[in-house]
Chain A
Amino acid sequence: MDPKSRILIVEDDDQTAADVAAIVEGLGCAPVIRSTLADGIAEAAGQYSVIVFDRMLPGGDSIDAIAKLRAQGSTALILVLSALGRAANRVEGLEKGADDYLAKPFEADELRARLRALLRRATMQVLDNDLMAFGDLEIRLKARTVHIARAHVSVSPREFDLITYMARNAGQVVTRMQLLEQVWKLHFDPGTNVVDVHVGRLRRKLEEVAGRPVIQTARGEGYVFAPLPAAGTKA
C-alpha cells in the first residue's frame, strides 16, 4: 500500500469522523477531515486517493455534488458512507457516480475492506494481461478457466466471477456484502448467507485440486484469497 495515500473524510458527526480517521490511519494512509459539503468540495481539489463522503451534510446531499467533483477534474474514488442505507439509497448513490456505498451503522472491518479495495483500484495499473497467476494457480480471463498445477478446475460462470474478484483483491479480506454487490450486482441483504454456500463450494473445488486451502475465512468478516502457502504474490 502506498503509505502516502491521502484520504479525505467529509463527515459532520465528530465521533464517526474520528472513527473513520482511525481506520484510515490503520491502513497507513493520511486522513483529512472536513465537516461541511462546501469545505469538502473545496478540499477535494487536492490530491486524494479516496474520499469518504457522508450524505446528509450541512450544505446538502453529497451525491448531488459528485458530478461537480468529477467536472473539477478530481480522480479520487468516492465511498459514500451514509445513514441513508436502504437498497434504493445505495443504488441511487452508485448510479450518481459513487464508486462504493456503505450504510451506517457500519462495521470497522467492512469499511477497512472496502477502503483497501478502493486504494488498490486507485493504484492498480491497467494490465493488458489475460493471465492472473499465483504460483501454480492460473486464471485465464479470456478463456474463463482456472488451473492449479496444470490441472483444470471446473467452475461455474458465477464461481469464475467470484474467484476473479477475490483474486483481484488477493491477500485481503473481501466481505460477503462486497461479493454480493460486486459479483451478483445485488445491493440488498438477502437474509441467509447465500454467498457463504457459493464460496464454500468454490473453496472445496479449489482445495480438492490444490491439496491445500486456497480461500480462508476471516472470522465474522468475510474471506481471504490466499493461494500461496507462504506470503508473496505475483500478479
Chain B
Amino acid sequence: MRRPLARTTFRLAAVVALTVTALSLVGMGLQYRLVENRLRVAQTALLAADLDGLGALYDQRRIIALRQAIDYRAAAATGGEMLLLQDRNGTVLAGTRADWPAGLPVLGEGFTADSAQIFTDEGQRWLGVGRVLPGGFPLLAARSLAPMEQTLAALRRTILGLVLGMLAVGGVVGWIAARGIMGRITRINALADKVAAGALDARLTGPRAADEFGLLETHVHAMLDRIEALNRATHRLSDTIAHELRTPLNRMAQKLSRLQGQEDLVDDLRDEMRKATKVFDALLDISRAEADQGSGGGLVPLDLSLLCSEMAELYEALTEDKGLTLTQSIAPAQNILGDRTLIGQMLANLLENAVKYCAPGDSIYFTLTATDAGPCLTIRDTGPGLPDEIKSEIFERFTRAERDKSLPGHGLGLALVRAIATRHGARLSTPPVEKGFVLQIDWPKLAL
C-alpha cells in the first residue's frame, strides 16, 4: 500500500521542480541571447573605431604613418588585437604577427568595419577585416573575441548553477508540499485498509481540518457509519428471521411428537422440516460468509492438514461401504487462518458430493499439497463429472442438473463452498479433467 503513495509524492515533487526550473531556464536563455548580442555589437564598434583611427592616420601620411602606428601598437601588444600591414609582395611592413591568417580573405578597400568576419586562428576566435590599400598594400585589423566568450562562458556557468540549484530547491519544496498532501491521503487510506481488514468500526481520530480533506474524512466517516448500521441490521434481520421461523417450526415439531400410531407420516414430516431448516441455514451461512468476506475477524490459525485428515477419516468408512476408494495424500502441518467449523462444512460438502455422484468402483482422491503460494487442496473423483449445461454456474445458488433431479439435494452445497472459500481468501477452480470432477482450492499462505 505504501509504494504507490511514495511514487505519487515523488512524481508531484518532480513536476513542481521541473516546471519551476523550465520557466526560469526560458527567462535566463532570453537574457543570455541579449547579452551575447550586446557584446558582439560592442566588439564590432571597437573594431570600427580601430579602423577609423588607422584611416585617419592614412589620410595624413599614407603608409608611413600606418606603419609607425602599427609598430607602436604591436610593441604594446595586449594580445587582444591583431594588426598586419604588408607590401604588394607580401613582405610584412608592420604587425603583431609575421603572416596573413588563413581564415580571412582580403575583401574590398577602405577603412570600414562593414562585413567584418569571424575567423579562427591558433584556436582563438577573432572578428576582423582584410583590406587592400591603394598601391596593393594588404591591411588586416582584428579584435579577439576571447574576452566576450569568457564573459559568456561565465554567464553559462552561472545559469547552469542556478538551474541545478533551482531543481534541488524545487524538488525539496515540491517534496515537502506533496508529502503534506499525501500524508493526509495516507491517513484516509490507512482507515480504508483497516475497514477492508474487517474493522468496520475503525474511525480517524484527532482534529479534522476545515478544508477539502476534512470534508473527505467527514464523508468517509458518514459512509462507514451507514455501512456499519446496514451490516448490523442485516445480522439482526437474519437472527430475527431465524427466530420467527424456527419458533413455530419448533411448536409443530413438539406437536408432532404427541401424534401416535402414524409413525411413518410423522417421520416424513420431521424429515421435511429438517430439510427446510437445512436449506434455510445454508442460505444464511452463505450470506453470512459473503458478508464477512475479506474481513479477517473470527479466523484463527488452524492446522488444515489435521482437519483434512479428520474429515477424510470421517468419510473413509462411508466410501468403503459404497464400494468407492478414497485415496488421501495430505501434506503435514499446513497452517492457515481459518474457521474450523466453516472449513469442516466445506470439506463435508465436497466429500458428500463425491460420494453422492460416484458409483461403486469409482475413486476419490483427496490431496493437500504445500506450494510456495500456500496450501493447495484438491478433491477429485472419477464419477460422471459435470453436465456441460451447468458447468458455468455450478457455484450459483440452487443450480442443479436435470440429470440429478432424482438425487437428494437443493443445489446450495457448492454455493456454500464458494462463499466459505471467499471468506478465507482462498481461490476456487475446476481444472479440466478427462473423467469425473475435480475441484481445487488454493489457500493463502499463513504469514508468519
**Could you tell me which A residues sit within 8 Å of B by CB distance?**
13, 15-16, 19, 56, 83-88, 91, 103-108, 158, 184, 186-192, 194, 197-198, 201, 220
Contacts and interface: CB of A to CB of B under 8 A. Distances in A.
Given A105-B250, A105-B277, A191-B352, A86 B315 contact: no
A107 B253 contact: yes
User: Interface range on chain B: under 10, 10 to 19, 20 to 34, or 35 or more?
Assistant: 35 or more
Interface of B: 239, 242-243, 245-247, 249-254, 257, 267, 270, 273, 277-278, 281, 284-285, 288, 310, 313-315, 317-318, 321, 339, 341-342, 344-345, 348-349, 352, 355-356
A108 B348 contact: no
Given A84-B239, A84-B243, A190 B285 contact: no
25 contacts: A15-B251, A56-B239, A56-B243, A84-B239, A85-B277, A86-B281, A86-B285, A87-B341, A88-B339, A88-B342, A91-B341, A105-B252, A105-B254, A105-B273, A105-B277, A107-B257, A184-B310, A187-B341, A190-B348, A191-B349, A192-B318, A192-B352, A194-B317, A197-B318, A201-B317
A22 to B, nearest CB: 9
A175 to B, nearest CB: 13
A88 B242 contact: no
Nearest to B348: A190
A98 to B, nearest CB: 15
* Leading 3 A-B pairs by shortest Cβ distance: A83-B246, A105-B253, A105-B250
A66 B246 CA distance: 23
Contact of A188 (B315, B317, B344): B344
Nearest to B353: A191
Contacts of A88: 285, 288, 339, 341-342
Contacts of B355: 192
Given A88-B341, A104-B249, A158 B313 contact: yes
A99 B207 CA distance: 48
A87 B289 CA distance: 12
A123 B298 CA distance: 35
A187 B321 CA distance: 24
B238 to A, nearest CB: 9
A166 to B, nearest CB: 17
Given A86-B281, A187-B341, A194-B315, A105 B348 contact: no
